[in-house]
């Protein structure tokens, strides 16, 4: 009997995740290397076919946990549906793509065929996965402006200088520490912990530690935009 998935006009469904994290000072994405054709040996986003008994978010969380041991996602949201008829060879497959974020202090264990790559230096990727990565980065950049989503990139406690480095890496341009603190504090997103970071090698005054006031995404200023510094 002919496999129903091979019949012309029928559609398969898959889920994919662009898992982002600030690592070594840059925004990076988790990719795994395909072992089989099509696009064997190219790097791809983790994910797989959607089971009949799952919704899309349950499916991507399960597959991330099973395939790449990513269990400490601080945030997951549906990104977009990618449905171009020719996005993959053979029978049509519609992909529900997700954005996942991991705090910078978490180092998930990943298999040998999986690696982190800077979003600005992607290897040759399979199918339309590079476009999905770029869409995920754009979503993150936008939401850092008008939501509290920075909590999903940051450790539980941080200095303002460290937070500035996280935002700068994710946004792709430098952010002033004083301006970032003023904006986030005005929105009620930051609070001091009452503790200080250990002094660095050069000594000096210990830096105050802060934390985000919440760890669920909230729209804080729908019209706000964090812009690159003026070059004028």
pTM over the 0.85 mark = yes
Report the distance separating Cα 158 and Cα 164, nearest Å.
Answer: 10
The pLDDT tens digits for 135-157 are 999 999 999 999 999 999 999 99
Taking 90 as the threshold, does the pLDDT of residue 15 lie above it? yes
Nearest CA to 184 out of 153, 226, 155 is that of 226
Q: Give me the pLDDT at residue 203, please.
A: 65
What's the confidence (pLDDT) of residue 71?
Answer: 72
* Distances, alpha carbon 223 to alpha carbons 151, 183, 193, 230, in Å: 20, 13, 29, 19
> What is the tens place of the pLDDT at every residue in 175-217?
999 999 999 999 999 999 999 998 766 667 889 999 999 999 9
The mean pLDDT value of the chain amounts to 89
pLDDT value for 45: 96
Where exactly are the structural domains of the chain?
12-129
For domain 12-129, give its CATH number from 3.40.228.10, 3.90.79.10, 3.30.870.10, 3.40.50.2300.
3.90.79.10
pLDDT the model gives residue 230: 57
């Amino acid at each position: 009997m002919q496999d129903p998935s091979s019949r012309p006009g029928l559609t398969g469904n898959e889920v994919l995740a662009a898992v982002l994290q600030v690592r070594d000072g840059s925004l990076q994405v988790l990719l795994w290397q395909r072992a089989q054709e099509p696009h064997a040996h190219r790097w791809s986003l983790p994910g797989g076919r959607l089971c009949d008994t799952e919704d899309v978010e349950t499916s991507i969380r399960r597959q991330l946990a099973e395939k790449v041991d990513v269990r400490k996602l601080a945030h997951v949201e549906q990104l977009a549906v990618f449905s171009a008829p020719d996005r993959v060879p053979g029978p049509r497959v519609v992909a529900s793509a997700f954005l996942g974020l991991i705090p910078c202090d978490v180092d998930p264990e990943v298999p040998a065929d999986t690696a982190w790559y800077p979003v600005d230096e992607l290897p040759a990727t399979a199918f339309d996965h590079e476009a999905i990565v770029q869409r995920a980065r754009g979503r993150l950049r936008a939401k850092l402006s008008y939501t509290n989503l920075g909590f999903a990139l940051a450790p539980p406690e941080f200095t303002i200088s460290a937070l500035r480095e996280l935002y700068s890496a994710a946004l792709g341009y430098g952010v002033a520490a004083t301006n970032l603190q003023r904006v986030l504090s005005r929105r009620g997103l930051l609070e001091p912990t009452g503790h200080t970071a250990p002094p660095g090698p050069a000594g000096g005054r210990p830096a105050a530690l802060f934390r985000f006031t919440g760890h669920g995404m909230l729209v804080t200023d729908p019209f706000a935009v964090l812009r690159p510094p003026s070059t004028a």
